[in-house]
Amino acid sequence: MQNRSDLAVTRVRHPLKFRLLQVTQVRHLTPHLTRVTLTGDDLHDFESASFDDHVKVFFPAPGADKPVIPQAGPDGPVFAEGDARPVARDFTPRRYDRATRELDLEFAMHEAGPAAEWAARAQPGQYLGIGGPRGSMVIPTGFDWHVLIGDDTALPAIARRLEELPKGTRVATLIEVGDPSARIEFATEANVYSEWRYRSETGGRGVALLQAVRETWLPDGEGYVWAAGEAATMRAVRYHLVNERGIDKARIRAASYWKQGAVAVHETLDD
Ligand SMILES: Cc1cc2nc3c(=O)[nH]c(=O)nc-3n(C[C@H](O)[C@H](O)[C@H](O)COP(=O)(O)OP(=O)(O)OC[C@H]3O[C@@H](n4cnc5c(N)ncnc54)[C@H](O)[C@@H]3O)c2cc1C
C-alpha cells in the first residue's frame, strides 16, 4: 500500500488535569441519549484534539453534593488520604466551546450503572468531575474514505467526527441502536452514507451491526475505519475487516467502549 505521510495517525499528549464542573443544561436527544452541558472556570484550558478522545467522569458518592476529585501527580491521579475512590467512567467530549467554557457529554441510557443512573436524574446545578483527556489519537481527515462503526455509546464520537470532517468527505456510518427511536440527526458537510440497524429487528446485541459491516462495500483508495462499542461485537467487527476483508491494521482503530456484564471497560483492540 502506498504510504502518504499526511495520512499518519498522530498521538498528542495533554497535561493531566482534573476539573470540577457544574451542569447547566440537560437535554434528552432521544429516549436513549441524554446530553448534559457542563461549565466551570476550570475549563479555560480544556483541550480535546480528537473525536476519539475521552474524559474520565467522576460522579458524586450517594448523598454527596460534589464528587471526590484527585490531584494530578507525576504518575497519575493522587487521592487525598482517607478519600473514598469516586465512581469513574469514560465519556467522549462531544462539544467544547472555549468562549463560553461549555462542555457537552452525551450519555447512552441503559438499564443499570452509576453513570446511566446519574444521567437519568441529572439536573442543572449538579456537580461532576472530569479528568483528561490525557492524550488524543488524531486521525487525519484527508483519507479518500472513512467508515465509522458503532453502537449507542459511539454516537457522540461519530456525531462529532461528522461535524469535523471537511465538506464533501466520503464517509459511511454503520450504527446499531435498539430501535428507530434512538436515531439521531447528524450535522455535517461530509458526503455521508448512513446505515442504521436495530436490535429490535434482530434480537441479539451486535448481530445487526456485524451484518451491516459484512454487507458494506469498501471503496478503493486510502481509507480509515474507526469502530467503538461493545467488546465482543468490536472484536468480531475488527476480525472480519482485518482477516476477511484485508483492511490494513494501521488503517483501523477499534475499541471496546463497554463490555456486557463488566463495569468500566476500555480496551483498544489489536492482535
Ligand atoms: C473511550 C470511551 C468513550 C466513551 N464515550 C461514551 C459516550 O460518549 N457516551 C456513552 O454513553 N458511553 C461512552 N462510553 C461507554 C461508557 O463508558 C460505558 O458504557 C460505561 O460502562 C457506562 O457506565 P455505567 O456506570 O452506566 O455502567 P457500568 O457500571 O459500567 O456497567 C453496569 C452494567 O451495564 C452494562 N453496560 C454498560 N454500558 C452499557 C450500555 N451502553 N448499554 C448496555 N449495557 C451497558 C455493563 O456491561 C454492566 O453489566 C465510552 C467508553 C470509552 C472507553
Q: How far is CA 116 from CA 7, 33, 34, 112, in A?
A: 36, 10, 9, 7
**Class at the top of the CATH hierarchy for domain 11-135:** mainly beta
Residues carrying CATH 3.40.50.80, the chain: 140-268
Q: Are 70 and 244 in contact (CB under 8 A)?
A: no
Identify the pLDDT of residue 2: 46
Q: If you measure from the C-alpha of residue 258 to the centroid of ligand 1, how many angstroms do you get, rounded to a whole number?
A: 5
Element (DSSP H or E) covering residue 231:
helix 231-239
Stretch(es) of the chain classified as CATH 2.40.30.10 = 11-135
Decide if 35 contacts 105 (C-beta within 8 A). yes
What CATH number matches the domain at 140-268, 3.40.50.80, 3.30.360.10, 3.40.50.300, 3.40.50.10490? 3.40.50.80
Per-position pLDDT tens, the chain of length 271: 445 768 999 999 999 999 999 999 999 999 999 999 999 999 999 999 999 999 999 999 999 999 999 999 888 889 988 888 899 999 999 999 999 999 999 999 998 899 999 999 999 999 999 999 999 999 999 999 999 999 999 999 999 999 999 999 999 999 999 999 999 999 999 999 999 999 999 878 999 999 999 999 999 999 999 999 999 999 999 999 999 999 999 999 999 999 998 887 788 888 7
- Minimum CA distance residue for ligand 1 atom 7: 91
Ligand 1 centroid, distance to 3 Cα (angstroms) = 36
Probe residue for ligand 1, chosen from 155, 160, 257, 260 as the CB with the greatest number of ligand atoms within 8 Å:
257
In whole angstroms, what is the distance from residue 204 CA to residue 196 CA?
15
95 C-alpha to ligand 1 centroid (Å): 19
How does 134-150 read in b/e, with b if 16+ C-beta sit within 10 Å? bebbbbebebebbbbbb
